[in-house]
Amino acid sequence: MPLFGRKNVLSKIDLSAKLTELGQKSDQFKFVASPETDFVVERKIVDATEYEIDKVEKLKKSYKAFLLLDEKTHEARYNEEMAETSGEATVSIGGADFSGEKKFFRGKVIGSKQFAKEWGAKKTEEPTSAGKIYDYSFDVSKVRNPIKKIVEDSGWKFKQVIFKGDATYKK
């Protein structure tokens, strides 16, 4: 029982075990091994392709976070990144047009909620393959908050950092 309301501080090994267990149970994210840091948190938000008679559209969105556990300071440093790629190819009598866009953010995500639904053709070979192209919902707090809670309940400080280097091993 901790004295004066202070929490017992878990070791890095015990905290890592709790986080690994959380990652195995979560449907919101997964932990991926990395030589750069203790944990890489990943969530594929959407990866979809829509086909039309004269056009193909693609959309990819993902979330990733780097989590470094510093046993000396009992700090869990957390750096987030969000990436989005979209593209379109159009064919017409005059030729073909291609366009694309990439968006990337790394640092502290204060908040992000996204949701979208789209219906259309799924394959060009099958004109009757119409249906839902994508239906996604993403709330960054559903990924970050469970991790933060385990870290803080283990007596560690959860610290969002701006630079990836602050959440990865020093070289």
Q: How far apart are CA 33 and CA 17, in angstroms?
A: 14
pLDDT in tens, 120-154: 877 656 655 678 888 989 999 999 999 999 999 99
pLDDT (mean) for 155-169: 97
- Please give the share of the chain, as a percent, with pLDDT higher than 90: 68
Would the pLDDT of 77 be above 90? yes
Q: How far apart are CA 164 and CA 130, in angstroms?
A: 42
Quote the pLDDT of residue 82: 96
Locate the domains of the chain by residue range.
3-167
β-bridge mates for residue 75, sequence order: 70, 157
